[in-house]
Amino acid sequence: MVFSATQQATSTVKSSKKGVHYGCSLRSPCLSVEYIVCICSVLPASTMSIMSWNVRGLGKKETVRALKNAIFRNKPEIVFLSETKKKKRYLEKIKMKMKMEESFYVEPVGIAGGLALWWTNNVYVEVLNAGKYFIDAKISFQEEEEFFMTFIYGPPYTDEKHQFWCSLSSLRSSNSEKWCIIGDSNIVAKPEEKQGGLPFDASQAKWYYDFVDLSCLIELPIKGGTFTWSNLRSEDEAIHEKLDRILISLEWNSSFPKAIGTMEAAIASDHAPIILSTKGFHKKTRRDFKFEAKWLLEDECINTVKESWGSSWESNPNVAFGKKLFKTKVNLRQWSRTRRKEIRCREEEMRGSLLKDFQEG
């Protein structure tokens, strides 16, 4: 299920002094950080926005209009569209109307499927691999460290779903890489993500969770609603499901700890557009977390560590270890702030008491 980008996809290429690339040339990572430091440190980054939408065909005027409005509101650097059902020539005209500069396409099979990846010149994109259900790329934004991003359109056919998730796990050679996955998974992961229709299929959910555990990924919550797809029916025939997702590695989360996922109203499609944004992270650079030896003298510190370390119940030990480190860091930082405030209040009380004694004496 891993396809050659040159065999099954077409793209718009851009020349540079360093050669010809998909988009622009990428700067190689200049830092190699150990796993624990990756979890406990926060690196500054600029705001970036990525939009993913299963448009269910981009041939109607109302769909193009809804896409234009969504791009205008969110101003994404990258736009990923699935089920375009249109050829490159047509999509290039739409891309120009959306003020996007670069592009990469996976052509539909007949009138089914089709993927489009658009981006502006503010972001550097190198497409590494592609097939009818995914586009895998390296992303770099405003001279920041690069990361991997996979844009997906999960197979709608049950007999292809298991192989699809198995193939995705082979895209990365290491679980310690910065990786983000976004798109229509075509999987309902748990019963509460489904309302109406056929019963929840636990076997399909297991394929998804096997991939998530094997790849050491976590799911980023999407704010704005519970379901991202509906069958557009009313009353008893209505079906609602959460199919669109954002998955991130712990290392990616360490670089973008304030990243948020949001969804918009589903207009002109049965899917809602989802937006991934690193919004607000560039406004304030947080210092690296440092554990102070004197904290060990405090019973509250020991209790904080114990509570934090016992808070994760992941089946994958690597994911559990990373989450425990992250939770411990967050809770210790909060505890130290509260402790410093208490000490300052005590100092103020002592100063006031000494001043009062001095004045009375």
Q: Which residue has the higher pLDDT, 315 or 11?
A: 315
**Inter-axis angle of helices 317-360 and 299-309, to 10 degrees?**
160
Pairwise pLDDT comparison (193 vs 174), residue with the higher score: 193
C-alpha angle with apex 197: 156 to 223, nearest 5 degrees?
Answer: 75
Residues in the chain: 361
Residue 287 is predicted with a pLDDT of 56
- Positive/negative CA dihedral, 166, 172, 178, 183: negative
Q: For residue 217, which of 261, 250, 185 has the smallest C-alpha distance?
A: 250
Average confidence (pLDDT) over 105-130: 94
Question: Does residue 321 or residue 305 have the better pLDDT?
Answer: 305
pLDDT of residue 181: 98
Q: Does residue 51 surpass a pLDDT of 50?
A: yes
- Check residue 34 and give its pLDDT: 36
CA 292 vs CA 41, 74, 304, 334, 341: distances in Å: 15, 42, 14, 14, 17
- The first and second tokens of residue 166, run together, are 């198995």
Determine if the pTM surpasses 0.85: no
Report the percentage of the chain scoring pLDDT > 90: 55
| pLDDT band per the 50, 70, 90 thresholds, residue 289 | low
pLDDT confidence bin for 144, thresholds 50/70/90: low
pLDDT for the residue numbered 26: 30
H helix or E strand, kind and range, residue 21: strand 19-21
- pLDDT, residue 317, reads 67
Task: Give the pLDDT of residue 71.
Answer: 95
**What backbone torsions phi and psi does residue 227 show, to the nearest 5 degrees?**
-115, 145
Closest CA to 322 of 237, 213, 223, 184: 213
β-partners of residue 115 are 82, 106
d(CA 83, CA 268): 13
200 alpha carbon, distance to own chain's centre: 25
Best-predicted range by mean pLDDT among 22-31, 43-52, 302-311?
302-311
- Burial call 83-104: b when 16+ CB within 10 Å, e when fewer: bbbbebeebeebbeebebbbbb
Tell me which amino acid residue 94 is: I
Backbone phi, psi, residue 207, to 5°: -60, -40
Measure Cα distances from 294 to 2, 9, 291, 302, 326 in Å. 52, 58, 9, 11, 21
Q: What is the pLDDT of residue 260?
A: 93
Rounded CA-CA distance 200/271 in Å is 19
Strands of the sheet with 244-249, listed across from one edge: 123-131, 134-141, 147-153, 179-184, 244-249, 217-219
Q: Give the pLDDT band of residue 41 (cuts 50, 70, 90).
A: very low
In the predicted model, is pLDDT for residue 35 greater than 50? no
Q: Which residue has the higher pLDDT, 29 or 309?
A: 309
**Average pLDDT score over residue span 305-312:** 74
Per DSSP, the three-state class of 157 is coil
For 12-26, 97-111, 159-173, 316-330, which range has the lowest pLDDT when averaged over its residues? 12-26
Domain ranges of the chain: 5-283, 289-361
Give me 353's structure tokens: 């008491």
Q: What's the pLDDT score for residue 357?
A: 72
Q: Is the pLDDT of residue 76 over 90?
A: yes
Q: What is the CATH number of domain 5-283?
A: 3.60.10.10
In the chain, which residue ranges form alpha helices assigned H by DSSP? 5-8, 35-40, 61-74, 88-97, 158-169, 202-214, 250-255, 299-309, 317-360
pLDDT of 50 over the 90 cut: yes
pLDDT of residue 284: 41
Q: Cβ(125)–Cβ(22) under 8 Å?
A: yes
pLDDT tens figures, 155-184: 999 999 999 999 999 998 877 789 999 999
What does the pLDDT look like over 223-275, one tens digit per residue?
A: 999 999 999 998 889 999 999 999 999 989 888 888 999 999 999 999 999 99
Q: Of 95-99, 200-204, 264-268, 312-316, which range is least confident?
A: 312-316
* Burial class of residue 294, CB neighbours in 10 A (0-12, 13-18, 19+): exposed
Mean pLDDT of 211-218: 92
